[in-house]
Amino acid sequence: MNGSPYTGVIVGVRADEEGSRSKERVFSARDEKSEWDASTQPPELWNQYKTDFAPGTHVRIHPLLEWTELNIWEYIERENIPIINLYFDQGNGKRYRSLGCFPCTAPVDSVARNPKEIIEELTSGKFKDIAERSGRAQDKDGGGTLEALRKEGYM
């Protein structure tokens, strides 16, 4: 993002996805060096967010931070939002629950073919106690990886 004309970016990360994301704020500032320090972030209270920024700050805005995976699917279902079909059974009993780049994303075993069946899987079915990003390699390796990536500018 450095050198781009944008001073902010709106990102769909959620606190329930992964440890380092759960430490995020809705308005998350990066300084000139793109540094993010989870431990020194100012608080966000109630629905009052940090909306004042020093010149040169790059802001990540996470409006969906408090949503859960289930909320997302319920919203997609309710509003009839078109999505890429990789999230549905590919005809071989596998679908993607979370999508990243090619080498580090693995599909899960699932025959869900639409948002309704995915909601069923998440609420009472097979994925009730299994995390969404369990097929994502960068979340592993002792847990520090995605936090380290976030500091480097990964979303």
Partner 1 sequence: MQRLNIVITGHVDHGKSTLIGRLLADTDSLPQGKLESVKKMCENNARPFEYAFLLDALADEQKQGITIDSARVFFQSKKREYIIIDAPGHIEFLKNMISGASRAEAALLLIDAKEGVAENSKRHGMLLSLLGIKQVAIVVNKMDLVNFSEIAFTKLKVEYSEYLATLGIKSDIFIPISAREGVNLIEHSASTPWYKGPTVLEILDSFKSVEEKENDDFRMPLQDVYKFTRDNDDRRIYAGTVTSGELNVGDEVVFYPSLKRSKVASIESFNTEVKTSVKESEAVGFTLQTQIYVRNGDVVARADQSAPKVSNRFEANLFWLGAKPLELDKPYKIKIGSAQSTIYLEEIKRVIDGDTLDRADEPSVGRHEAACVIFRVHDLLAMELFAENQKLGRFVIVDEYDIAGGGIITEVLEQYTTRRTKALHVNSVLVDKASESTEFEEELFALLRKHFPHQFN
Point out which residues bind partner 1 (CB under 8 A).
15-16, 18-19, 22-23, 25, 29, 41-46, 48, 50-54, 57, 66, 79, 129-131, 133-134, 136, 139-140, 142-144
The DSSP-derived string for 8-20 is: EEE----TTS-HH
Q: Which is nearer to partner 1, 112 or 146 (CB)?
A: 146
Q: 105: helix, coil or strand?
A: strand
Q: Which is nearer to partner 1, 113 or 131 (CB)?
A: 131
User: Nearest distance from residue 115's CB to partner 1, in Å?
Assistant: 18
Q: Which is nearer to partner 1, 125 or 143 (CB)?
A: 143
Q: In this structure, how many other beta carbons lie within 10 angstroms of the beta carbon of residue 14?
A: 20
The one-letter amino acid code at 96 reads Y
